[in-house]
Structure 1
């Protein structure tokens, strides 16, 4: 047996992918110890697990047509750098996480350089919601899909792509060490003081479009609830931008960084005002009632509105086939409307209780309580390599 350790290439281009990549790295290290090394692209969490990313992934966290066009030259350059990294490091397998546009380009570049390199897509495009043709593209580009949704498989298997359901790592977030009292002490809140958690997204475009509406809602709420404590956990990809924006608010808000502080805040919050995304699943898991808001660039929204085949954007709402948490999208995502929905929940403990209960029911439909997704993903990666070696 060669003394060379297994070399796994991981590519993640945004905060949720960075989190999944870090979890997969931990699981592989638990199984292989020093017999595995990692190369590729990732953020702070993957860096903490031992990955040396050649560039900051924050610049790749773009969403929308116009933003994508503007970023295209930079994306192409980063794809080339990622492919060159693979050529130097000669990985045994490449796992490309979420971020459809960037990881698809990277996969094609890797395939061109080394046709035998096993390519794994971790998190498939949501073809059940829009653009079903992406299932065929995924099947033509990758060797296997690691799916986070149990209902993904038929769409991709019909296109000829083997699918392994590993589960959603957001459903496996461990809140056992989260301490809501620690958060209250940190921000100077009494045991019964209301806390509003504001989560404006992890992409620069989300901060630019969503945070102003959230900010307007917060100002309105502080007028009626002067004792309301406002807490803003900031994703590493946008922490500087969030801190700078919040510094200009007339009322104090506590900007938090780090996973421990975020989990404490999710358990302590009375209500959350959240940008649509992975964080809504984490909030539901923490037992936090929420109001969901989102805004896209107008042209992007006009096009996507014609393509989307579901009327919900929040994952547990899709599972429940109902607006368990209210969704205020595009023009509806404005200060007065957001403040009104949050106020209803601040005023009504029974409404909060019922929403949390229904959120838990929806999470059960998504597979809450299932096997550890990180371990399942690690097992799938190793099985692929075993089959290849045979």
Structure 2
């Protein structure tokens, strides 16, 4: 077998990337057995699949420009350390997974010092949204991009970036846990409606959105009744619990992925911070209102950098702006409450979202092959091209 006895170095620095890396490693192990060796950086999932991580990925859980500046010496030291480890190992393949501010810096260092190591980028940076020049620059150090969103390969072609293939989003493998059965659908349609509130998955996001969302829900509570559920993760539970204590409507806090998915299957609508969760909600068939606030410095930069009219992933995949989004100074309790009221009942705004979401399965289909298997095919094909 041409790929036998190969070593693959993978780098993932966030939990979402760790899940992608673990799934990819599992398929590669199934295909190659003991003939493949893994090294790199990853979290718990990749550790279970055989990586002895170079450092704990929690060391890079940094959000916000001020925090990054403060930690910059440490970040740069970890970039150098990771690149040196790749070069010392001289693997047959480097797979960088998301987190482009870190992983692309490693990849550039590796390519400069050893251009014979193939590099695959799993999860495209948002070149279609901002800094489109990155796509063309990536040709110098990335051999193939594995895209999670179906429109991304065409964007890379237009921007003259490296080869890019749509492998599928991991959410397409999880639809059964997101969508209601017959009994759960009855609760979704019943009164009072279950309303999800999703202020973010990072501490900085929660700080920016929690009070705003609470004020909006207080205004909505004066107009209609609803049952409020706030999904979060165990490490954020205390912060969220303390933050909602003064809300006029106190939510039930659903902790962990199982409780979150159970809440998704019952919910009629959602108020969410912009991000990947918008695609998760759309695939679940849940109409939503989205909001996003950042600090003044970040807002100043993003306003000048963003190239698309919508930052909502579901809108971008659908090709229409069906989900309302409220950004920065436009993001007020009054506007959020009004928009939520418009989608809780059987209204044209709600029907428009539901009908658009029904097209997502076809748009995001990967056929009978799961995303991790499609990704593994490209990794193995790229490895096989490297001379022994």
TM-score bracket relative to the smaller structure? 0.7 to 0.9
> How far is the alpha carbon of 1:281 from its aligned partner?
0.9
The verdict on how the C-alpha distance between 1:18 and 1:134 changes in structure 2, with shifts beyond 3 A counting, is: same
User: What is the alpha-carbon distance in structure 2 between the residues aligned to residue 282 and residue 93 of structure 1?
Assistant: 31
Q: What does 1:108-187 correspond to in 2, within 5 Å?
A: 108-112=108-112, 114-157=114-157, 159=160, 161-170=162-171, 172-177=172-177
**SS of match in other structure, 2:175:** coil
User: Which of 299, 302, 307 does residue 304 from structure 1 map onto?
Assistant: 302
The verdict on how the C-alpha distance between 1:59 and 1:108 changes in structure 2, with shifts beyond 3 A counting, is: same
User: What is the alpha-carbon distance in structure 2 between the residues aligned to residue 33 and residue 327 of structure 1?
Assistant: 47
Cα distance per residue 1:133-161 (max 9 Å; x no partner): 11122111222211234443355456462
> How far is the alpha carbon of 1:328 from its aligned partner?
0.8
> How far is the alpha carbon of 1:193 from its aligned partner?
3.7
Cα distance per residue 1:20-49 (max 9 Å; x no partner): 223323332332344444333334444454
The answer (yes or no) to whether the contact 2:124–2:147 under 8 Å persists in 1 is: yes
The verdict on how the C-alpha distance between 1:192 and 1:167 changes in structure 2, with shifts beyond 3 A counting, is: same
User: What is the alpha-carbon distance in structure 1 between the residues aligned to residue 294 and residue 255 of structure 2?
Assistant: 25
**SS of match in other structure, 1:292:** strand
> How far is the alpha carbon of 1:288 from its aligned partner?
1.0
The answer (yes or no) to whether the contact 1:202–1:235 under 8 Å persists in 2 is: yes
Q: Which moved more, 1:242-251 or 1:22-31?
A: 242-251
> How far is the alpha carbon of 1:99 from its aligned partner?
1.8
User: What is the alpha-carbon distance in structure 1 between the residues aligned to residue 242 and residue 387 of structure 2?
Assistant: 51
**SS of match in other structure, 1:322:** coil
Q: Which moved more, 1:128-137 or 1:31-40?
A: 31-40
The answer (yes or no) to whether the contact 1:197–1:271 under 8 Å persists in 2 is: yes
Provide the residue aligned with 2:208 in structure 1.
Answer: 209
The verdict on how the C-alpha distance between 1:241 and 1:367 changes in structure 2, with shifts beyond 3 A counting, is: same
Cα distance per residue 1:156-205 (max 9 Å; x no partner): 456462223323333x1323245758998xxx999644212122223333
Q: What does 1:14-163 correspond to in 2, within 5 Å?
A: 14-58=14-58, 60-62=60-62, 65-86=65-86, 90-112=90-112, 114-157=114-157, 159=160, 161-163=162-164
The verdict on how the C-alpha distance between 1:333 and 1:35 changes in structure 2, with shifts beyond 3 A counting, is: farther
> How far is the alpha carbon of 1:347 from its aligned partner?
3.3
TM-score normalised per structure 2: 0.84
**SS of match in other structure, 2:261:** helix
Q: Which moved more, 1:149-158 or 1:264-273?
A: 149-158
Q: Which moved more, 1:262-271 or 1:32-41?
A: 32-41
The verdict on how the C-alpha distance between 1:322 and 1:350 changes in structure 2, with shifts beyond 3 A counting, is: closer
The verdict on how the C-alpha distance between 1:240 and 1:40 changes in structure 2, with shifts beyond 3 A counting, is: farther
**SS of match in other structure, 1:146:** strand
The verdict on how the C-alpha distance between 1:357 and 1:203 changes in structure 2, with shifts beyond 3 A counting, is: same
Provide the residue aligned with 1:293 in structure 2.
Answer: 291
User: What is the alpha-carbon distance in structure 1 between the residues aligned to residue 352 and residue 161 of structure 2?
Assistant: 42
Structure 2 unaligned spans of 5+? none
> How far is the alpha carbon of 1:339 from its aligned partner?
2.1
Q: What does 1:314-353 correspond to in 2, within 5 Å?
A: 314-348=312-346, 351-353=349-351
Structure 1 unaligned spans of 5+? none
Provide the residue aligned with 2:229 in structure 1.
Answer: 231
> How far is the alpha carbon of 1:59 from its aligned partner?
5.1
Q: Which moved more, 1:268-277 or 1:368-377?
A: 368-377
User: What is the alpha-carbon distance in structure 2 between the residues aligned to residue 374 and residue 384 of structure 1?
Assistant: 15
Count of residues in Structure 1 that have an aligned counterpart in Structure 2 = 384
RMSD: 3.5
The verdict on how the C-alpha distance between 1:339 and 1:167 changes in structure 2, with shifts beyond 3 A counting, is: same
User: What is the alpha-carbon distance in structure 2 between the residues aligned to residue 337 and residue 273 of structure 1?
Assistant: 12
Provide the residue aligned with 1:259 in structure 2.
Answer: 257
Provide the residue aligned with 1:221 in structure 2.
Answer: 220
User: What is the alpha-carbon distance in structure 2 between the residues aligned to residue 178 and residue 150 of structure 1?
Assistant: 20
The verdict on how the C-alpha distance between 1:122 and 1:330 changes in structure 2, with shifts beyond 3 A counting, is: same
Q: Is 2:368 the partner of 1:367? A: no
User: What is the alpha-carbon distance in structure 1 between the residues aligned to residue 345 and residue 161 of structure 2?
Assistant: 52
> How far is the alpha carbon of 1:254 from its aligned partner?
3.1
